[in-house]
Structure 1
Amino acid sequence: MAKRANGEGSVYQLPDRTWRGSITVQIDGLGRPKRKYVSGKTQKEVREKIRHLLRLKEENALVDPSRMTVAEYLDEWMRDTKGSLKPTTIEKREYIIKLYVTPHIGRYHLQKLTPLDVQRLQTTLLTTPRKPGKGQKLPEGETLPPLGTTTVHGALSLLGSAMRHALQLGLITRNPVEAVKRVKPAKRDMQVWEPSEIHRLILAIQNSRLYGLVYLAITTGLRRGELCGLRRQDIQKGVLHVRQNCVLVGNTPHLQTPKSEKSRRRVPLPADTLEALALHRERQARERLAAGDEWREQDLVFPTPIGTIYHPRNLLRDWYTLLAEAKIRPIRIHDIRHTYASLAIYQGLDPKALADRLGHAHASMTLDVYGHVFEEQRDRAALSLNDLLQGRQTRGAPTLPS
């Protein structure tokens, strides 16, 4: 085996058959080397950790762990993990760290961060009024409420992930976040439409350019980003393939692949939905002619009137305008997804099939979100002997509009 060059670090096996490695971080004033050690179960694992440390050293980002602050470490952690993250995830993490973590514990030494410090961070976030945003002015004497439990839970979860990485690198000896009982995120009440409301909406918007989008959302439960990112090539032979979605980076819409493998899915479409999409294509062809040279072809099913990406926030604005004009009880666009799921459950769709159509990672997630609806459906399944013998149920389930 070729001898490793100077500066590449050393890797060796210990008597207990685990592996250890080290690199020289710096030479002190007396000419003594200051070394950084890592360990692992396999040689491959240790070599990967050594390569990570060498990258940090090359960037002059590796400081003495005994002097590294939480803020310095979080900066390094973000630099190291950016390559494997989507832009929206990077933006969200940087936002949480900048606003909720470093202002409170960023100056603390990483190795001295305790569970009590993390507990105090959580308490501070839950009880301290939020600061107004840039350009936001409040009436004299008024303050903004503290952060919600969902936001605080997310901030501590992110800090916990960062500390786990520090533990793996040997920068700390324990994860201080794991010892803290984190606040539970609040469950947001879902609003769903009754079948009669769906019928009224479909009748009221037949001449709207959003007709096809709304119809598809109601009969498939697609997410807002999936609707905005859907391409014509993604619908083949009556089957819709979710292959990309539209996300916001800052305020700019971007098309990217879905986060998880389960989100990349196939969704068979019923005949009435295909008919609604055919009407939408005819309307879109007229829009293309009207736009003339301004049309920007991107193969999108639901673009703007000139063919460009439908900004999700513009869709949200147009959505509430549409409901107001149709005099329909307003719900969020995401609540159409809940409406579809609830009606599908009442029609007898099992949790596994519903999870596949919604793009949930596991059926357990579907049961967690819609468990109460399944309970109601089980109550409906209480059949008398007469019902069983005649093959019908006394209390029918609602149906989707045809």
Structure 2
Amino acid sequence: MTNVEEQGGTTPGRRKAPETRKRASGESSIYQDEDGRWHGFVSMGKKENGRRDRRHVSGARRVDVVAKVRAIEAKRDAGFVEAAGRALLVAEWLNHWLDNIAARKVRARTLESYRSTVRLHLTPGIGHHRLDRLQPEHLERLYAALADKGLSPASILRGHRVLSRALKVASQRGKVGRNVATLVDPPTVKRPQTALPLSADEARRVMAAAGAHRNAARWTVALAVGLRQSEALGLCWADVNLDEGTLTVRRGIHRVAGQGLVYEEPKAERSRRTLALPNQLVEALRTHRSAQLEERITAGSLWEDDDLVFAQANGRPIERKSDWQAWKALLHEAGVRDVRLHDGRHTAATLLLSEGVHPRVVMEVLGHAQMRTTTDTYSHVLPALGRDAADRMGNALWGPPAP
């Protein structure tokens, strides 16, 4: 081979001029072999195993090889150093993103959801593609195939968002030239199911039926202050002040694959909140605490103390499914229509709005991050509040209507 420095060089067919200086360590070089083909080598530093990492390019013309060498140098100098050897596949990048990036940023339950989406849908569909050659059409065909299998639009949209987050990091690190997920229209998802709150009379019947069962206050809390299921099942006595009549939401409880039941802080800051309790609910919680202390004495050494307000008879946390089954049985016993467990939360909000409580206060009670969430979810109640406001304004300006 004839060594030609990148700064100078010879023309094929001519004799190489004598070198005037020694090439610096790590400096790129270009060579022409005996057949007249040009080769370029770029030093990228060290590999993970400590050996020198050099990248090779070749071409029929020197000018082409110079351009390739400069392009690799530009990426190297900008910090975009790709791993040597075989090209990175989409599946490999998704696994790296899950294990080393997402795992440090999201909650355990969210990470479990990401892993499930990648394993079941993304890897089988597009995992075999080279990461740097992924195209928008690959994603569109994937989404169409998932829809044909019967996957819901919400699940497909969830996969799209996971993929977009992973590709965003890949783009930031120079592993792909663009985030192709931003070039694809995500699936359209229908609005959430309309809230079906219980009426005040139905709520009273449910609480009356609950009085005959242990953990009766669990349902009083649900209907009076609208805690989410995970918040109610993760509530501890340290966050309940019966003397001041307040309850503070600091955590929820969730089941995570491989970890069992775990306590997690709320995702949104607004979900961390302190609520004032009705006096009747304070008394119900006092009664519940006394009953729980008796259960603790009966259980003796079998009692597992997690300081939970609502627990099994041995102190252990209540499973979400068991809680849901208890709610369904209670509705049947009370003789009221069948509604979702989450509709108990909607019941609390609807009753507050119907009693004239300002939507902003209801937003704080529920722990919504935005006012729009409250107004959109309970839009069926707001027209009546608007009518009431108009009547009050009429009374203020023109006096009460004549009998």
Shorter-chain-normalised TM-score: which range?
0.7 to 0.9
The CA distance in 2 between the partners of 1:337 and 1:36, in whole Å, is 57
Residues 291-325 of structure 1 deviation map (CA, whole Å, 9 limit, x = unaligned):
22221222110011111111222211222222223
Contact 2:53 2:84 in 1 (8 A): no
Q: Which amino acid aligns with 1:288?
A: R
Structure 2, unpaired ranges of 5+: 1-24, 27-43, 59-68
Match of 1:240, SS?
strand
The CA distance in 2 between the partners of 1:199 and 1:125, in whole Å, is 45
User: Does 2:191 correspond to 1:170?
Assistant: no
Measured after TM superposition, the shift of residue 279 of structure 1 is: 1.5
Residue 316 of structure 1 corresponds to: 324
Q: Which amino acid aligns with 1:370?
A: Y
Residue 238 of structure 1 corresponds to: 245
Contact 1:253 1:312 in 2 (8 A): no
Residue 359 of structure 1 corresponds to: 367
Structure 1, unpaired ranges of 5+: 1-5, 8-21, 41-45, 54-61, 129-145, 394-402
Q: Which amino acid aligns with 2:245?
A: G
Residues 8-33 of structure 1 deviation map (CA, whole Å, 9 limit, x = unaligned):
xxxxxxxxxxxxxx765563487999
Map 1:204-219; keep pairs closer than 5 Å: 204-219=209-224
Residues 342-373 of structure 1 deviation map (CA, whole Å, 9 limit, x = unaligned):
22222223332222221122222222333343
TM-score calculated relative to the size of structure 2: 0.76
Contact 1:151 1:185 in 2 (8 A): no
Which 10-residue stretch deviates more, 170-179 or 25-34? 25-34
User: Does 2:182 correspond to 1:181?
Assistant: no
The CA distance in 2 between the partners of 1:293 and 1:309, in whole Å, is 17
User: Does 2:153 correspond to 1:149?
Assistant: yes
Residue 53 of structure 2 corresponds to: 27
Contact 1:38 1:170 in 2 (8 A): no
Q: Which amino acid aligns with 1:97?
A: V
Q: State the superposition RMSD in angstroms.
A: 3.0
Residue 306 of structure 1 corresponds to: 314
User: Does 2:100 correspond to 1:93?
Assistant: no
The CA distance in 2 between the partners of 1:373 and 1:193, in whole Å, is 13
Distance 1:233 1:35, change over 3 A: farther
Match of 1:92, SS?
helix
Aligned length: 339
TM-score calculated relative to the size of structure 1: 0.76
Residues 257-296 of structure 1 deviation map (CA, whole Å, 9 limit, x = unaligned):
2222221111111211111111111221222222222212
Residue 288 of structure 1 corresponds to: 296
The CA distance in 2 between the partners of 1:169 and 1:387, in whole Å, is 65
The CA distance in 2 between the partners of 1:269 and 1:245, in whole Å, is 19
The CA distance in 1 between the partners of 2:176 and 2:246, in whole Å, is 51
Higher-Rg structure is 2
Contact 2:207 2:220 in 1 (8 A): yes
Distance 1:221 1:83, change over 3 A: same
User: Does 2:155 correspond to 1:126?
Assistant: no
Contact 2:226 2:349 in 1 (8 A): yes
The CA distance in 2 between the partners of 1:76 and 1:391, in whole Å, is 70
Q: Which amino acid aligns with 1:211?
A: A
Measured after TM superposition, the shift of residue 70 of structure 1 is: 0.9
Percent sequence identity over matched residues?
Answer: 29
